[in-house]
Structure 1
Amino acid sequence: MSAAGNVLRRVLAAVLALAGLVLLAGGGWLVGLGGSWYYAVAGVVLLADAWLLWRGRAAARLLFALLLAGTLAWALWESGLDWWPLAARLDVLFVLGLLLLLPGVAREPSGTRSGRAALSVVLLACVVVAVASAVHDPHDLRGTLAGSEGASATTGTAAADWTAYGGTAFGQRYSALRQITPANVKQLQQAWHFQTGDFRGRPGDPEETTFEVTPLKIGNRLFLCTPHQDVIALDATTGRQVWRYDPRIQDKLALQHLTCRGLSWQAAAAPAAAPVATAPASAASPAPATAPIVAAAEGPADPACAAKLFMPTADGRLIALNPDTGHVCASFGGGKGQISLWEGMPNYRPGAYYATSPVVVTRNLVIVGGTVLDNASVHEQSGVIRAFDSETGRLVWNWDSGNPDQTAPLPPGQTYVPNSPNSWSISAVDEGLGLVYVPLGNQPPDQWGGKRSPAVERYSSSIVALEVATGKARWAFQTVHHDLWDYDVPSQPSLLDLRVGGSMVPVLVQPTKQGELFVLDRRTGTPVVPVREQPAPQGAAEGDHTAATQPKSGLSFEPVPLAGSSMWGTTMFDQLYCRVAFHRLRYEGRFTPPSVQGSLVYPGNFGVFNWGSIAVDPTRGIAFTTPAYLAFVSKLVPRPNDTALMVQDDGPPSGSLPALNENFGAPFAAKMQPFVSPLGIPCQQPPWGYVAGVDLAGGRIAWQHRNGTVRDLAPVPLPFRMGVPNLGGPIVTAGGVAFLSGTLDYYVRGYDVATGEELWRSRLPAGGQATPMTYEGADGRQYLLVVAGGHGSLGTKAGDDVIAYALPK
């Protein structure tokens, strides 16, 4: 044997020995936790093989061939022909096997090549399995989404304009435009590109400073807001800025999020007003003395506005703007052009409460919810829903889930119920039925509910139908009982009509974080697609309890429960780490209660569906959806007192930013984090994100495909189509094309709605974590509009880009 071969042999033997020691130690730990024996056995075999190789024995190759063959069989038994799980189990051993085939690594007597031959055969078998698994996708569901003949388009579809966050007040994210089709979508090209100049990174910005806006299009103007709350009007055909408004947000805010998902528009010719509450309306209680009112404008104000734009601000104001001029409407708020949302609100702390999502404009009212800090303390603001006169800003009614029967305006001197469940997402409204549909969250703290009141228990994590005229609750449907997982209802409901049992039924489709699509009769809240209660794991933390059952829809994207074999990594070593971590956590399937030990929450509070919601085609009764699957770890940390910082790993937050997840005043802080390996890669095997088509009337999933690549997630930009999560909603068009930009790689994509096939994509300059929209320009062309601004907590690239695409002239 040559000197070079001798050195290579000894180096390779040392590598085998080191790998064997790691596998034996970690594998032994895993066996002790009740996990797979494979790693410990493989560690022993590798140590034996290292000794043989060090000694230069011919049996080294044969023993390694046996180990690789056994690993291949075990990997197929655990994963089947699924390329990425197989790669994690086989990649290291495959490379080591190739090195063992090098000449001079091991001595074999002249005329006998049994070890080399056996190893060659096993390596070839690995290649064959790899090729077979690369062309076989066990996660792919192919089909055609024909839709339902019984669907109806009478629920108000957007045509040339996009007049509300979801296209219309029905929250469908649907356009009746047909110019872009599956046949020509590949011809889309950039028509114009506007940059707002608003980037995250200013002093006082929280981590979640995000550009999530979906612009409105009315006439030939687009209206959008930026993360730092500027309002911008653009020419919809050219992208030229028409005006810009700065609301002069105060500084030193206690912000968890700094975002504006959109504006709300009231047409000049508003419908006749509905009767208001029978109780006499009065002014709300005065704002606390500590709540200074920042002037809405230094410049001109218009005495009256025929039409209005409504903009909620991060310091808790609601401003009315003239869409023609960008000036404030002086008639709103008694000459100020704004009202304070802090009026009647307990626990004043600027930035801790405001509306991150667009408000609802209906009839003569503007209906406002708001977000509160997640898990900062038990002394947060109220989740009250309020309706104001859209002309004057006078309070008309208030509905507080902590005090749901008191809907007349709050008497002076009183405040709303602290910590009542809030609505941070987007509501939908049916003016024909006179109902607004409000998705609700939880009472903080999210992970411990030992002191929730009966009213809070009734309305947490629910969809509530409120009467537009009075604010009284008509019905409520709870999506999670006694929610301990931050499974607040995150998505705007989508309203359409479906033929059910021979008759047309007005329905509401509600996506949830836990993966359900609840299809309800929106007149009564009665399920149209059956809902059953299924047993849930028990054993909550001290002083708390869990619900015996949880609701599950017959139309569900509930993930397959995790197991040790579901763990993943780039190699067998980080996969072993994830297996050990999995077995150390408490996990009894979906709805495993949070614990001091640490519980695996799957799906995590990122959600199968989040604020991007889904898109529905009301003419065909179908939905285009984007389910995502990421596990999180929820660990309760006992609090010794009401002031100590227990979960701030990086020290106290800077400036006025809040100490999140401390739960001051509760018995536990909460440590929340994604379930990832030391490399920052999800411990659960891919795919992590899909697109899926749903027949709503039939209650079935017609097709589902992995969606997105890891090009912008991996250290090396390799465009592997593994299926990545999405944050930001899809849209569908009458032309048969759906669009999505929110995947964690930087692309906007077009899909065939019927099959889910990706037809077109264009590279974005930053993360596209927003919902696109589409409209017709003054030149008669259909435009696709995409906002690319990135997302702070997801780590996608920041941007300030607004990009319009169209077919060639």
Structure 2
Amino acid sequence: MAAAVSRGGALLALIAVRAAAQGPPAGSEWRAYGNDPGGSRFSPLARISVANVQQLRLAWVARTGDFMTDRGRFEATPLLVDGVLYVSTPLGSVVALDPATGAERWKYEGTVRFGYDDYGDFANRGVAAWRDGRGSGACAGRIFVATVAARLTALDARTGRPCESFGEHGHVDLTRGLRHQPEYHWEYGVTSPPLVVGDLVLVGSAVPDNHRVDAPEGVIRAFDVRSGAVRWRFDPIPRQPHDTGYETWIGPTAHNTGAANAWSIFSADPARDLVFIPVGSASPDFYGGERRGDNHFANSVVALRASTGRFVWAFQVVHHDLWDYDVPAQPVLFALRRGSDSIPAVAVATKMGHLFILDRRSGVPLFPVEERPVPTSDVPGEVASPTQPFPPSAFRLVPESLAAGDAFAVTDSMRAACRARIAALRYEGVFTPPSRRGTIIWPGNLGGMNWSGVSVDERRGIVIAPTNRLAMVVTLIPRDSLHAAHMAHPDLEFGRQAGTPYGMSRDHLGICTPPPWGTLTALDLSAGTVKWQVPLGAMPQLAQVPQSAAWGSFNLGGALLTASGLVFIAGTFDQHLRAFDVETGRELWSAALPAAGHALPMTYVAEGRQYVVVAAGGHDRLHTTMGDYVLAFTLAGPGAPVPDTTPGPLGGDYSGEMHIGDARFAMGLALRAAGDSFTASVSIDSVQIIGPVSARRSGRGVTVGFPLAYPAKRGCTATLTMTLQLWNGGRLLEGGGTFDGTCAERGHQDAAFVFRRRGRG
């Protein structure tokens, strides 16, 4: 009998091994940023449907431990690969979670140096995964993360340890080999996930556009996934006379221009050995007198041979960009059905709200594109392109006209001020060049689809596009007046644009811009028409104003589509995850989030249940609520997990950090139960505790306060108060607090605190 059990156990083990080798059921995981290599953001899962989505409930919450109160953008979309959920943070950390419970399996602590306030885009949108078909040892599965600190890291998918065989002990310094080296730490970095194609891992870069003409170049590089060696590189700016497009850069220094970088998400068609690169603007954004001509292949989607980096084709969405109109979104690959034909297509979303549909084999438009005359520049030395490409009207998803009479505000006096401001500025359409007078850029560099991109349901022939409408104001400033302008308007964004005659300032029109400020649009590809368009979200600041629910919200994140006909999207200022009916645009369900969810949601099946997961971390520049949350939702019912709200034992010893302003301090915390309350002791690197430490229970957590002195800032004192809660099964003690006194900037600062319990994994 024992032998029979043993044979049965061996048989079950063999079945389990074979099942693991075969992988999970098709569609049950989420293995790339947009689910598939082509970035459709579509899932074939249908357990959560139009009929039952109202039963969706929060299943679990995890926190990454990389909480910051005033900087960073947790924009990551987790991946589910081989039964593990992987998510990255702005600090370059990667956390592996159990997909059914949210329990932490491991965490790799990121190497991004904290303490800088000038990471232009302090973001991370996710990781990439690769599995070696040759073996099963250490690092046979790899997770790749690229960071704002310009580092590409390969981690063992099972343990989170860096793969020693990759680069230098698991890391590649992406600043090496650049034509134009960064002048400061954030002049070159990465904010979007790498792309894995075969045995190559591809990365682009994020480059500040308005610092100088010769900014770091936007080279795309492919690295060997095993060794980290460079296999190929492609520079979107032609540098040599024999390079394709060389003649479209005119001027003595034009071919030394920087940027034209690809900061957004790449896509791949492995069967055709193609990758699709969304390329941004050349530097600087708003004056192109040093780079006359159309400037190929800036502001283009570029198709390259994946295995070699060889140029195949390009389609330019803006000629000679003067508006910061990068190609901001992942090119989305899909099959366009026309009668009995199925055409391999790519959708290219833009900041202008223009959507171009191209044959991905050739770059030829599948819907008409017309070159239309656009306004000329009135700035000496500038030569704007006389025409720009326009898709059909249904594929232009945001308004393209704005007059003083269109000004919006919530009171008559504010509306009059808005009208006067608009009337004083130059605006003659979507491609009105920047000017010394001040030019309205509408829908603006945050407008259109931006990096939220579009999502495609091939079977239904529907494209879903979240859009923004936020008018910006750009003014060119003669160089000898730039400092005075900055002193006079310190609240505006300024750029030196070194190497040109002009600096620049940028502002926005805010709610002078007519609503809706954010929409969700469905485009019927068969009919070539808008199927529906609805306001997306709301602005909490205007909640008391009648009709404000119809005005929508500025948004960043993207939409998840499912085979059951659902659209899931977060990204709005009112901090909700929503579900819409893909056929009608009707909102079916929503759930409040603890922080703004500026990220693309994803979905998967674990232990027989479908989950929808979104990161909620806020946005420093949009001033939405910050956090480090990963939230999973599933249908209510027997066996459905629910978040653990039971107060856990707080007593114990913890080590962690305080994040305040641009400083990061190591801390120790010991809590001991004392009746219904606690006693506490605290240590902080470089800080003296100068009085008693108080501790009291606060709901599921504890509030700790004490006075301190900071010798490095002679003579200053402050009172620190922190309110902390247990998370992640009692492993993490995390929360926010205040720092008040002469040590604090302007007497008060907010702070973030993250502690891990000592002696627990």
For this structure pair, what is the TM-score category when the shorter chain's length is used for normalisation?
0.7 to 0.9
* C-alpha distance in structure 1 between counterparts of 2:400 and 2:348, whole Å: 21
- Whether 2:103 is the aligned partner of 1:235: answer no
- Whether 2:46 is the aligned partner of 1:178: answer yes
Pair member with larger Rg = 1
Deviations, residues 425-458 of structure 1 (Å, cap 9, x unaligned): 011010111110000011111000111266x701
Change (3 A) 1:167 1:645: farther
User: Whose strand proportion is higher, 1 or 2?
Assistant: 2
- Whether 2:509 is the aligned partner of 1:675: answer yes
Q: Which amino acid aligns with 1:172?
A: S
1:328 counterpart SS class: coil
The Cα of 1:422 is off from its aligned counterpart by 0.3
- Whether 2:35 is the aligned partner of 1:167: answer yes
Change (3 A) 1:358 1:795: same
The correspondence of residues 525-536 of structure 1 with structure 2, limited to 5 A, is 525-536=363-374
The Cα of 1:539 is off from its aligned counterpart by 2.2
Corresponding residue number in structure 2 for 1:747 = 576
- Whether 2:276 is the aligned partner of 1:437: answer yes
Asked whether the 8 Å contact 1:189–1:805 carries over to 2, the reply is: yes
Change (3 A) 1:796 1:270: farther
- Whether 2:403 is the aligned partner of 1:570: answer no
The Cα of 1:251 is off from its aligned counterpart by 5.0
Asked whether the 8 Å contact 2:560–2:600 carries over to 1, the reply is: yes
Asked whether the 8 Å contact 1:420–1:443 carries over to 2, the reply is: yes
Q: Which amino acid aligns with 2:64?
A: T
Asked whether the 8 Å contact 2:236–2:279 carries over to 1, the reply is: no
Change (3 A) 1:717 1:373: farther
The Cα of 1:701 is off from its aligned counterpart by 1.0
Deviations, residues 533-589 of structure 1 (Å, cap 9, x unaligned): 111011242211111111111222141411222111111111010111111101111
Change (3 A) 1:576 1:710: same
2:486 counterpart SS class: coil
- Whether 2:387 is the aligned partner of 1:559: answer no
* C-alpha distance in structure 1 between counterparts of 2:489 and 2:219, whole Å: 33
- Whether 2:441 is the aligned partner of 1:601: answer yes
The 10-residue stretch of structure 1 (345-354 or 722-731) with the greater mean CA deviation from structure 2: 345-354
Change (3 A) 1:158 1:565: farther
Corresponding residue number in structure 2 for 1:625 = 465
The Cα of 1:675 is off from its aligned counterpart by 0.8
Give the TM-score, by structure 1 length. Answer: 0.71
Change (3 A) 1:428 1:539: same
Asked whether the 8 Å contact 1:229–1:259 carries over to 2, the reply is: no
The correspondence of residues 195-594 of structure 1 with structure 2, limited to 5 A, is 195-201=63-69, 205=71, 209-250=72-113, 254-269=118-133, 304-333=138-167, 336-345=169-178, 346-348=180-182, 349-403=184-238, 419-452=258-291, 457-500=295-338, 502-554=340-392, 555-594=395-434
Corresponding residue number in structure 1 for 2:666 = none
The Cα of 1:522 is off from its aligned counterpart by 0.2
Corresponding residue number in structure 2 for 1:98 = none
* C-alpha distance in structure 1 between counterparts of 2:442 and 2:364, whole Å: 27
* C-alpha distance in structure 1 between counterparts of 2:151 and 2:357, whole Å: 34
* C-alpha distance in structure 2 between counterparts of 1:715 and 1:381, whole Å: 47
Change (3 A) 1:270 1:543: farther
* C-alpha distance in structure 2 between counterparts of 1:612 and 1:174, whole Å: 14
Change (3 A) 1:719 1:701: closer
Give aligned pairs, total.
596
Identity percentage of aligned residues: 40
* C-alpha distance in structure 2 between counterparts of 1:611 and 1:158, whole Å: 28
Asked whether the 8 Å contact 1:628–1:689 carries over to 2, the reply is: yes
Gaps of 5+ in 1: 1-156, 272-301, 408-415, 654-658, 677-681
* C-alpha distance in structure 1 between counterparts of 2:544 and 2:460, whole Å: 43
1:573 counterpart SS class: helix
Q: Which amino acid aligns with 2:445?
A: N
2:418 counterpart SS class: helix
Corresponding residue number in structure 2 for 1:112 = none
Change (3 A) 1:584 1:613: same
Q: Which amino acid aligns with 1:256?
A: G
- Whether 2:613 is the aligned partner of 1:785: answer yes
Change (3 A) 1:716 1:746: farther
Q: Which amino acid aligns with 1:753?
A: V
2:124 counterpart SS class: coil
* C-alpha distance in structure 2 between counterparts of 1:367 and 1:373, whole Å: 21
Change (3 A) 1:723 1:471: same
The Cα of 1:339 is off from its aligned counterpart by 1.1
Asked whether the 8 Å contact 1:647–1:662 carries over to 2, the reply is: no
Corresponding residue number in structure 1 for 2:685 = none
2:345 counterpart SS class: strand
Deviations, residues 226-278 of structure 1 (Å, cap 9, x unaligned): 1222110110000001100013223565521111100011123289xxxxxxx
* C-alpha distance in structure 2 between counterparts of 1:236 and 1:453, whole Å: 52
Give the TM-score, by structure 2 length. Answer: 0.75
The 10-residue stretch of structure 1 (481-490 or 397-406) with the greater mean CA deviation from structure 2: 397-406
* C-alpha distance in structure 2 between counterparts of 1:698 and 1:717, whole Å: 36
Q: Which amino acid aligns with 1:386?
A: R
Asked whether the 8 Å contact 1:712–1:745 carries over to 2, the reply is: no
1:551 counterpart SS class: strand
Q: Which amino acid aligns with 1:602?
A: W
- Whether 2:570 is the aligned partner of 1:732: answer no
Gaps of 5+ in 2: 1-24, 244-254, 638-761
Change (3 A) 1:765 1:247: closer
Identify the match of residue 701 of structure 1 among 530, 534, 546.
530
The correspondence of residues 71-86 of structure 1 with structure 2, limited to 5 A, is none
* C-alpha distance in structure 2 between counterparts of 1:526 and 1:789, whole Å: 39
* C-alpha distance in structure 2 between counterparts of 1:623 and 1:758, whole Å: 17
Asked whether the 8 Å contact 1:270–1:364 carries over to 2, the reply is: no
Identify the match of residue 602 of structure 2 among 766, 770, 773.
773
Asked whether the 8 Å contact 2:207–2:259 carries over to 1, the reply is: no
* C-alpha distance in structure 1 between counterparts of 2:559 and 2:26, whole Å: 15
Asked whether the 8 Å contact 1:647–1:661 carries over to 2, the reply is: no
Deviations, residues 310-331 of structure 1 (Å, cap 9, x unaligned): 1112221110001111011111
Asked whether the 8 Å contact 2:175–2:181 carries over to 1, the reply is: no
The 10-residue stretch of structure 1 (618-627 or 785-794) with the greater mean CA deviation from structure 2: 618-627
Asked whether the 8 Å contact 1:710–1:718 carries over to 2, the reply is: no
Q: Which amino acid aligns with 1:458?
A: H
* C-alpha distance in structure 2 between counterparts of 1:167 and 1:249, whole Å: 27
Deviations, residues 203-246 of structure 1 (Å, cap 9, x unaligned): xx5xxx21111111113211011122211011000000110001
Q: Which amino acid aligns with 1:461?
A: N
Deviations, residues 676-732 of structure 1 (Å, cap 9, x unaligned): 3xxxxx112221111111112332211111221222555889973322222110110
* C-alpha distance in structure 2 between counterparts of 1:267 and 1:340, whole Å: 23
RMSD: 2.5
Change (3 A) 1:660 1:246: farther
* C-alpha distance in structure 2 between counterparts of 1:562 and 1:729, whole Å: 26
Asked whether the 8 Å contact 2:292–2:383 carries over to 1, the reply is: no
Q: Which amino acid aligns with 1:580?
A: A
Q: Which amino acid aligns with 1:695?
A: D
Asked whether the 8 Å contact 2:456–2:462 carries over to 1, the reply is: yes
* C-alpha distance in structure 2 between counterparts of 1:760 and 1:339, whole Å: 44
Deviations, residues 594-639 of structure 1 (Å, cap 9, x unaligned): 0000011111111211111111112222111112211111111111
